Structure 1
Amino acid sequence: MGKVSQEAKRAKMQASNERVVEARRKAAVYDGDLTRAREGYHVGAGWHAILDDLVKEFAEIENLGFLAAHEKSGGLRVSYLYDGDRQTDIDAIEKRAAARALVACWYCGQLGKLRQERWWRVRCEEHWSAE
């Protein structure tokens, strides 16, 4: 009886995992649709142009779907789905976007600097006082 119970648990976990993966596939933006992609931009308006460029570049790679982006420790983090063989290209796109974000104000996109006050942030001089 214990063995059946373990098998049933595994089957439930597998089914749950498959539902999560399918939901992520449906949410991912594969075609460069910026309107849909922007729903996943969890960053300030100053980084939107950077992410727009990233999403457009992602759309050029088959089976690559943008999921979301957020800021962590002052840097840009991107989530995506991919199951192909061009990981080096994807890493380069992601690295370029992250480098641009490290010098662009999170609020306005103007030249900014990564500094730490309470947290690490990239802001221009004008927006350091906006917090």
Structure 2
Amino acid sequence: MDLLGSRYLAAQPIEEIRCVARTHGGTRCLNRVLAPRKPHGTWRLTTLLPGRPPVLPAVEIAVYDLGHLAHPEQQRWRAQHCPTHALIPEAADMALDDWEIFDLPLHRQHVATRLPVGAQGRHRGRV
């Protein structure tokens, strides 16, 4: 996932990423970060050029790009909040966000070299 100028790996598919905020009832919010009435990212192929040893060949990978979204919307994704909890600055988090900075040698098994397909193809995937 391209977000705020960095590439992240999500712990689960895009459409399953849950809000980490705590509800008034003291439980974790059940809402998804991918919201129907909010702008969505787009899948694209990009060339990844590893820059540190061991030098690996360039790899074309599929990424879910949120870079075209407004900065507040990208911050909402980075905080892993649903649209409702993004509007409540004092909302406490019930869980830690589960993004990892993408590292090709470490995450090679998660690299997709083709865009996702299917009924929800524009969202499916982890990078």
**Larger helix proportion of the pair:** 1
Q: TM-score, normalised by structure 2?
A: 0.26
If you compute each CA radius of gyration, which structure gives the higher value, 1 or 2?
A: 1
Q: Higher relative contact order by CA 8 Å / sep ≥ 6: 1 or 2?
A: 2
Q: TM-score, normalised by structure 1?
A: 0.25
